[in-house]
C-alpha cells in the first residue's frame, strides 16, 4: 500500500484555516520552505522537522522575486508530483504549493524586505536583488504559516544569516533551526542544480568541497594560508570558474581582517560549465 500523499493547500486561506484547526488541538507547527525539485537535502530538513514539532508543512514555491532577468526561473525544475511522492514517504501531512498569482495577486510585490549591506555582497553582488526577494517571500511564508519553527540549511550560509537577522530585527516569533549541509558520497553539497552537470563537470565540481577541506586544514596558519590553500585546489580544475572565495565573520558576515583569530566561515561560489554552485564551511583560525 502506497503511503498517503500530503494534502496540497494552494491558497493562503486554506493554510490558515487548516493550521488554525491543528493549533486549536494544541499541536505545534514546523515549516520547511523549498523551491521544490526535492532531494535528500530537503528530506533531511523534513526529518529534522519531525523532531521539532507535531505538524510539518513543506512549502513548494518557485519565487520569481529572487530570480534575476538572466537567471534560470523558467529552467528551474518543477517536479510537484515526484515531490509529493517523496514527502508521502516521510509522512508529511501538508504541502503549501501556491501559484504565483496567489502569493502576488496584484503583480510583483511593491513592499519588500530589504537585505541591506550584507545582501549586496557575495551572492548578492552576483545576483542583485536576490536576497530582497528571498527575505520578502520568507517573511510572507512565516506570516502565512505562523510556524513555531522553520528549517533553513547551512549550505545557503548567506541566506541563513539574513533570515536569522530578519527574524531578530522584526521580532518574529518563529525559531530558525539550522540543518547542516547534506553532501553526496564524494563531498559535493546536494543541490537541485547538480542535475545540470554532465559527467566531466560532475567530477570537476568535486573541487569545491576539496578546496574547503584544504582551507580548513590550513586554518591554523591564518587567513592568507586559507585563501592560498583553496586557490591551489580550484586552479587545478579547468572546468571550474571561481566567482569568489571569501572568509567571513559569522557574527557579521563581513570579510575578516588578515589577523583574525577564532571561528570564521569560508564561502565559495563557482561556475562549472553553465551551472553555478555554492558551498561553505566553518574554519577555526589560529
Q: Decide if 220 contacts 286 (C-beta within 8 A).
A: yes
Say which DSSP state 206 is in: T
Q: Nearest-5° angle of CA 7, CA 83, CA 42?
A: 105
Residues with Cβ within 8 Å of 267's Cβ and at least 6 positions away in sequence, in order, are 122, 157, 158, 244, 245, 246, 247, 248, 278, 280
Distance, CA of 193 to CA of 61 (rounded, Å)? 16
What's the residue count for the chain? 286
Q: Detail the DSSP E strand segments found in the chain.
A: 7-9, 29-34, 55-60, 94-96, 149-153, 175-179, 240-248, 262-272, 275-285
The x, y and z cell numbers of residue 200, run together, are 566531466
45 a catalytic residue: no
The region, left, alpha or beta by phi > 0 then psi within -120 to 50, assigned to residue 6 is: beta
- Cα 15–chain centre separation: 23
Q: Decide if 139 contacts 166 (C-beta within 8 A).
A: yes
Strand order in the sheet with 29-34: 7-9, 94-96, 55-60, 29-34, 149-153, 175-179
Distance, CA of 210 to CA of 188 (rounded, Å)? 9
Distance, CA of 140 to CA of 135 (rounded, Å)? 8
The residue annotated as part of the active site, out of 39, 42, 45, 284, is 42
The x, y and z cell numbers of residue 244, run together, are 569568489
Q: Which residues are tagged catalytic? A: 42
Amino acid at each position: 500500500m502506497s503511503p498517503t500523499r500530503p494534502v496540497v493547500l494552494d491558497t493562503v486561506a486554506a493554510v490558515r484555516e487548516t493550521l488554525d484547526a491543528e493549533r486549536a488541538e494544541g499541536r505545534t507547527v514546523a515549516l520547511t520552505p523549498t523551491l521544490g525539485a526535492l532531494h535528500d537535502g530537503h528530506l533531511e530538513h523534513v526529518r529534522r522537522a519531525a523532531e521539532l514539532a507535531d505538524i510539518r508543512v513543506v512549502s513548494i514555491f518557485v519565487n520569481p522575486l529572487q530570480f534575476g532577468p538572466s537567471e534560470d526561473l523558467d529552467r528551474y525544475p518543477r517536479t510537484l508530483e515526484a515531490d509529493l511522492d517523496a514527502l508521502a514517504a516521510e509522512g508529511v501531512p501538508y504541502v503549501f504549493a501556491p501559484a504565483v498569482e496567489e502569493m502576488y495577486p496584484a503583480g510583483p510585490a511593491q513592499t519588500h524586505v530589504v537585505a541591506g549591506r550584507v545582501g549586496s555582497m557575495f551572492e548578492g553582488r552576483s545576483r542583485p536583488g536576490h536576497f530582497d526577494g528571498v527575505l520578502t517571500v520568507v517573511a510572507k511564508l512565516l506570516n502565512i504559516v505562523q510556524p513555531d519553527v522553520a528549517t533553513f540549511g547551512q549550505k545557503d550560509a548567506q541566506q541563513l544569516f539574513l533570515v536569522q537577522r530578519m527574524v531578530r530585527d522584526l521580532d518574529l516569533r518563529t525559531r530558525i533551526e539550522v540543518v547542516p549541509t547534506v553532501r553526496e558520497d564524494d563531498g559535493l553539497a546536494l543541490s537541485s542544480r547538480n542535475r545540470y552537470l554532465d559527467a566531466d563537470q560532475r567530477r570537476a565540481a568535486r573541487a569545491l568541497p576539496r578546496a574547503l577541506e584544504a582551507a580548513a586544514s590550513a586554518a591554523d596558519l591564518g587567513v592568507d594560508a586559507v585563501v592560498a590553500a583553496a586557490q591551489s585546489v580550484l586552479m587545478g580544475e579547468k572546468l571550474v570558474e571561481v566567482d569568489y572565495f571569501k572568509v567571513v565573520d559569522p557574527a557579521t558576515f563581513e570579510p575578516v581582517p588578515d589577523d583574525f583569530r577564532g571561528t570564521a566561515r569560508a564561502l565559495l561560489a563557482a561556475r562549472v560549465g553553465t551551472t553555478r554552485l555554492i558551498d561553505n564551511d566553518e574554519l577555526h583560525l589560529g
